[in-house]
Structure 1
Amino acid sequence: MCNLGVLTLLMLMATATAFRFYQDEIPNGDHVPHPCKPNYLWWGVGHANPLGGGPKNPFGQDFARYHSWTEELCRLDSDGDGMTNGQELGDPNCVWTKGNLPQESTSITHPGVCDPWGSDQCRIANQAVTCETGEFKCDGINGQDVMNITLRFPPTAVPAEETSYMCFTFELDMLEEDSEYHLIGSKPFIDNANVMHHIVITGCDATSSPLSKPELCNMAAAGCQKTLQVWTLGMPGECVYREAGFKFGKLAGITRINMQFHWTNPQKRTDYIDSSGLTLFVTKQLRRYNAAYFTTGQTHLVIPPGMPRVVKKSTCTPECTRLIMSESVHLMTGWNHMHYLGYQQNVELNRNGEKLRDLTPDDVYSYDNPIVYEYNPPVEVRPGDSLETTCVFRSTSRSTTARYGEGSFDEMCFGVFTFYPAEAMVQPSCLTWDDLDLCTFSGTSINDCDLMVFINQSHPERQRLFSKVLDNCNAYGGCRSECPAALAEVRQHPCLRGRMEAYIEDIMPVVGTGLDVVKFFSALESCDCVDKPHTSTWKYPVSGAGGHTAVVSISILLAAFTMMLP
């Protein structure tokens, strides 16, 4: 039987769904895991819940008794599973107060849902909680000309890491050599929901290498750059707009398909196996337009701990849309992408300095349950329009700084869209690093800076710059008298001019770091504050004097900068 405590907690957590500020009223209120889906957070009733719903609470009037976290509410065992509400929410001593970090932030459990999930003693108490996802509906896949292709990983051990990216390639032997196809939809088969976060299907050209078994991979495998389908938590499937399809097949230059998994294993368990996959719906009856994916957003994020609101913005400027678009495109769908600190997000479309509309207005954002906005009719974006992405983060339960990164507990700030015609977009992204436009990439260069200068350790220009700085400046000490002149000279280099210096320093870990790199950037800063002891801002671990190899595939590096899916 539910008592007042469990009703109160469920009401608190349900209300937090519609009014996220109520999450501040209980410790760790923003990252309570769902008991039967460890890879999901709990968002309660009243929300488009990825689990299909939650316990229904008809006794909202009882909320008036405990409208905030009290010692009495903390010491109750609301769900009768032998742990107090405080123990389950990380406040075992019932001392937490609003605005402070909880005593514990790991091993959090739901105080209003009986544990262990599925046990006899909890079956009745949890009968209103479901782990089912929504039904996939797509009229277009029912035509007689549509065939389906199911691609699944062989049973594969999940690494004992918080975040892993695993890739496997499939040959297209089931397709005719002399035909082109449109991919018009996909539906997931999720074998291990405890770890699966998202799946990306990309088309691979003749330069790609087949993978005979699943292997750990970068976020975009070399030679497999054309994104064809995406599935992420909370999506029952993808149904492409009726006039468009993603072109693929050997005649279209795609010789194989790469399937990438993003696994989240925060407990670092060693016993997980996964054999998930996607069913692809394809047709030889080509639709009117070819479709593609487009991403906009911010790649430079620093989110301090304990903050109720951190706002980050990115603008795909009119100059950028003119550069990357040869004609107008039409957006079919769009959704936001942040991680667990994500609180609110929106991408706004502007024309001639005036707002046209909101494209992805998530007043309540959920990493585990993205809202996919379908535009019918599709939304036109013209060369010269601008797209402004605003991401709001909340880090009140974090004790460490979060930065941009591919891990589940790093952060991102992207808007992801499908559009047509694919041919109108000369590059699939419009991103910024802080206020630096990344749309100006040309080959391996941006703003006249050739990235190969820093990627290749043997590049003579890199050796000259490093020698000039390290011979005249202290890496771990004060400002030498000869250093300012040396810095003034090297900072005339396009890669070290203005904001480019900070950008180059930030991206160097993508290709690996060595002691010489750490010393170089420390020495660059040695005279920034001559009246203060120097403290390097370098934040990345040193892998040894030799570091990692710095000669890497530029396609992998650029894919990391302008990746299609976060």
Structure 2
Amino acid sequence: MFNLGILTLLLVATTSAYRFYQDEIPNGDHVPHPCKPNYLWWGVGHGNPLGGGPRNPFGQDFARYHRWTEELCRLDSDGDGMTNGQELGDPNCVWTKGNLPQESTGITHPGVCDPWGSDKCRVANKAVTCETGEFKCDGINDQDVMNITLRFPLTAIPAEETTYMCLTFELDMLEEDSEYHLIGSKPFIDNANVMHHIVITGCDATSSPLRKPGVCNMAPTGCQKTLQTWTLGMPGECVYREAGFKIGKLAGITRLNMQFHWTNPQKRTDYMDSSGLTLFVTKQLRRYNAAYLTTGQMHLDIPPRMPRVVKKSSCTAECTRLIMSEPVHLMTGWNHMHYLGYQQNVELNRNGEKLRDLTPDDVYSYDNPTVYEYNPPVEVRPGDSLETTCVFRSTSRSTTARYGEGSFDEMCFGIFTFYPAEAIEMSSCVTWDDVDLCRVNGTSLNDCDLMIFFNPSHPQRQRLFSKVLDNCNVYGGCRSECPAAVEEVRQHPCLRGSMEAYIGDLKQNGVSSLEVFKFFSALESCDCVDKPHTSTWRYPVSGAGGHTAVVSISILLAAFTMMLP
């Protein structure tokens, strides 16, 4: 009993302290929850990572084990027959803080008895809750509200770490001459071992339906309007009482697309799933139409073994004036990073002064996001700014993490629901490094016509490529004539400042060619590592791309680049 209390105190700390203890034990940042598949223990609840797990009756003795020691490593604190070191990936008890553990797979919780549910562990684990919370939403039980259940047929899950799968549903149950509001949704999770999130998007008449589940990296063409989201740890989504998401033929939404994100890190071949959502829909229209708005940063490079990496993005006053036709009111907001996410906040500013924090996660959890409900809703005016700050911790990683849609890639977004939907046509206000993507106008950005740059037969592209490739080395060192050629080429709007790296990133997510790779390699052949201009062109890259759940502009740009040669 004494040993269990000591280990539990290491693992179950207070809100202000338990992140500290993750660094004090091997694999402390990805110990799985014993009875909640696909959860990490530190992500389940704030302050008590077991969501109400066992308490430590021997807190006064904590000073004996305030750090990882060989003695603590060799204890079997939960009495399940495995030492603490074996459960945490340090079987030989040689791990020291700041180094990678000997093992990083097969980790189990050393303070909770395994196997979960067995007779020998039932008493020891009686204080550990496995509930994720009850869904409560005013209005969904009213007589005028109908339930629409969308579920995948039983589908084999690919043996891939990350899979996005889509299926389209017709709205035949809705009357063609009526308007409807979608006011909430509740998940049905069939396989919690792999399910990470679900996104419902509305499809217009131009969309091509997916009649059976199919792998997708973004919503199908014509299905770009986000209507509902669910992610691990959320009991459901409840729309503010005065608003709803408009659907139905009169609203231009003739069918719905449901996207699953499955996480299968073990790449098992025997998993199946038939999860889905129940939608709550009414003909009694509410006062306002609702929509989603996303802020954040789409350019991330997080070095390994770093205790703190900060990334920022600003939806500037200029951007809100550009995308907003009138003030909007935020109903809910939440943060979205992945497993390296540590802290996050979106801050609302007006006239250069901070008004309030919108999503102040001092302890962020990918597996258990905090949804902030604003009652009354928060007004955002044209000319206000939204500042997104994401803090990452990569002490457990041996490789650089970059922006991408996989669970072990990273993201940095603030996600909000707002009304009236008509006030914002562009559903995101994000940046790529310091490039404001709110300035996208058709195929143009910051005076750069992307089609001109990416069209192989266009005279401007041919001139730019020839200038660089004729004067600079592709695979060698810096030629004396190269700097002058590069300086001239970098005056082009598509290659000025951060636009160069942004163009390279767009192209590598589309259909890259050897000529493009040579151009960017030659362009950077004379760049010194201490030059701030050095871009982040990489070739080839896999795993990056748009994220349907959080940022529609990435879908637009990714779809655009896929059409380019």
CA distance, structure 1, for counterparts of residue 249 and residue 331 of structure 2: 26
Opposite residue 5 of structure 1, the aligned amino acid is N
Secondary structure in structure 2 of the residue aligned to 1:37: coil
Structure 2: how far apart are the matches of 1:294 and 1:247? 16
Over residues 97-143 of structure 1, what are the superposed CA-to-partner deviations in whole Å (9 max), with x where a residue is unaligned? 22333232222211111222233333332232232210000111121
2:445 is aligned to: 446
Q: For 1:454-512, what per-residue CA distance to the aligned partner results, in whole angstroms no more than 9, with x for missing partners?
A: 54555554344333322332111012233334323322221111211011112222213
- Equivalence map 1:144-163=2 (5 Å): 144-163=143-162
In the other structure, the counterpart of 2:267 is 268
Please report the TM-score for the alignment, with normalisation by the length of structure 2: 0.92
Instruction: Tell me the equivalent position of 1:212.
Output: 211
- Checking the alignment, whether the CA contact within 8 Å between 2:510 and 2:558 is kept in structure 1 is no
The letter of the residue matching 2:430 is L
> CA–CA distance in 1 between the matches of 2:157 and 2:310?
35
Residues 1:400 and 1:471: Cα distance change in structure 2 (over 3 Å): same
Structure 1 455/175 Cα, relative in aligned 2: closer, same or farther at 3 Å? farther
Q: Deviations over 1:12-54 (max 9, x none)?
A: 1111654222222111111111122331100288727797532
Q: Deviations over 1:36-77 (max 9, x none)?
A: 233110028872779753223343333232121111000111
Counterparts of 1:303 and 1:112, CA distance in 2: 31
Per the alignment, in what secondary structure is the counterpart of residue 37 of structure 2? Answer: strand
Residue pair 1:151, 1:278 contacting (<8 A) in 2 also: yes
1:315-368 C-alpha deviation (Å, 9 max, x unpaired):
111111100101100000000111101111111111111111110111111000
Letter in 2 for 1:12: L
CA distance in 1, matches of 2:60, 2:456: 67
Which whole-Å CA distance do the structure 1 matches of 2:536 and 2:414 have between them?
30
TM alignment of 1:353-432, pairs within 5 A: 353-432=352-431
- Aligned sequence identity (%): 86
State the distance in 2 between where 1:114 and 1:67 align: 22
Q: Which amino acid aligns with 2:451?
A: M
Q: Deviations over 1:517-565 (max 9, x none)?
A: 2211110011224999xx996433379xxxxxxxxxx994426799xxx
From 2, 12, 17, the counterpart of 1:4: 2
Distance 1:316 1:448, change over 3 A: same
* Aligned-residue CA RMSD (Å): 2.4
Offset of 1:5 from its aligned partner? 2.2
Aligned residue type for 1:189 = F
Matches within 5 A, 1:181-196: 181-196=180-195
Corresponding position of 2:545: none
Could you list the per-position Cα deviations for residues 394-417 of structure 1 after superposition, in whole angstroms to 9, with x for gaps in the alignment?
A: 111111111111110011111100
Q: Which shifted more, 259-268 or 481-490?
A: 481-490
Worse-matched range after superposition: 306-315 or 446-455: 446-455
- Map 1:110-125 → 2, pairs under 5 A: 110-125=109-124
| Structure 2 spans left out of the alignment, 5+ residues | 543-552
CA distance in 2, matches of 1:530, 1:441: 30
1:80 alignment partner in structure 2:
79
Paired with 1:513 and 1:29, the residues of 2 have a C-alpha distance of 40
In structure 2, what is the Cα distance between the partners aligned to 1:151 and 1:344? 34
Q: Which runs of 5+ in 1 are unaligned?
A: 544-553
Q: Which residue of structure 1 lines up, in the alignment, with residue 477 of structure 2? A: 478
Deviates more, 1:211-220 or 1:475-484: 475-484
Is contact 2:205-2:254 (8 Å) kept? yes
CA distance in 1, matches of 2:262, 2:132: 19
Alignment of 1:226 with 2:225, yes or no, is yes
1:12 is paired with a residue of what secondary structure?
A: helix
Residues 1:80 and 1:512: Cα distance change in structure 2 (over 3 Å): farther
Which residue identity is paired with 1:13?
A: L
The equivalent of 1:130 in structure 2 is 129
Letter in 1 for 2:419: Y
Q: How many residues were matched structurally?
A: 548
TM alignment of 1:316-327, pairs within 5 A:
316-327=315-326
Equivalent position of 1:240 in the other structure: 239
8 Å Cα contact 2:13-2:48 kept in structure 1: no
